[in-house]
Structure 1
Amino acid sequence: MDSEPRWNRDQAHQPDYPEHSGYAQAAESASYPAEDYYPEQSEQEAGKKDHRATAWEIIETILLALLIFLMVRGVVINFRVDGNSMEPTLSHSEMLVINRRAYTSFDLNSVLSALPGVTRQAEDRRYIFNPPQRGDIVVFTPPGSGSDPYIKRIIGLPGETVDIRDGSVWVNDMMLEENYVSSSTSWRGGNQSAIVIPEDEFFVLGDNRENSSDSRSFGTVPKDDIIGKSWVAYWPPGSIQVFPRPSYALE
Structure 2
Amino acid sequence: MKKEIWEWTKAIIIAVVLAFFLRSYVFATSIVEGTSMDPTLHNGERVIFNKAIYLLDEPSRGDIVIIQHPNKNYVKRVIGLPNETVEVRNGTLYIDGEKVDQSFLPPEQQSATSDFEPVEVPNQHYFVMGDNRDISKDSRNGLGFIHEDDIIGRSEIVIFPFDQITITR
TM-score (norm 2): 0.89
TM-score (norm 1): 0.61
Identity, % of aligned positions: 34
Give RMSD over aligned pairs: 1.5
Aligned equivalent of 2:100:
176
Alpha carbons 1:204, 1:221 under 8 Å: kept: yes
Aligned equivalent of 1:222:
147
Q: 2:161 aligns with which of 236, 243, 249?
A: 236
Aligned to 1:131, what secondary structure does the other structure show? coil
Aligned equivalent of 2:76:
152
Aligned equivalent of 1:56:
6
Please state if 1:138 is matched with 2:65: yes
Q: 2:88 aligns with which of 155, 158, 164?
A: 164
Aligned to 1:193, what secondary structure does the other structure show? strand
For structure 2, list consecutive stretches of 5 or more residues without a partner in the other structure.
Answer: none
More strand by share: 2
Aligned to 1:77, what secondary structure does the other structure show? strand
Amino acid at match of 1:179: S
Q: CA deviation at 1:80?
A: 1.1
Q: 2:122 aligns with which of 198, 201, 205?
A: 198
CA distance in 2, matches of 1:70, 1:234: 19
Count of residues paired in the alignment? 163
Amino acid at match of 2:83: G
Q: Could you list the structure 1 runs, at least 4 aligned residues long, displaced by more than 6 angstroms after superposition.
A: none
Alpha carbons 1:88, 1:180 under 8 Å: kept: no
More helix by share: 1
Larger Rg: 1
CA distance in 2, matches of 1:63, 1:160: 48
CA distance in 1, matches of 2:139, 2:39: 19
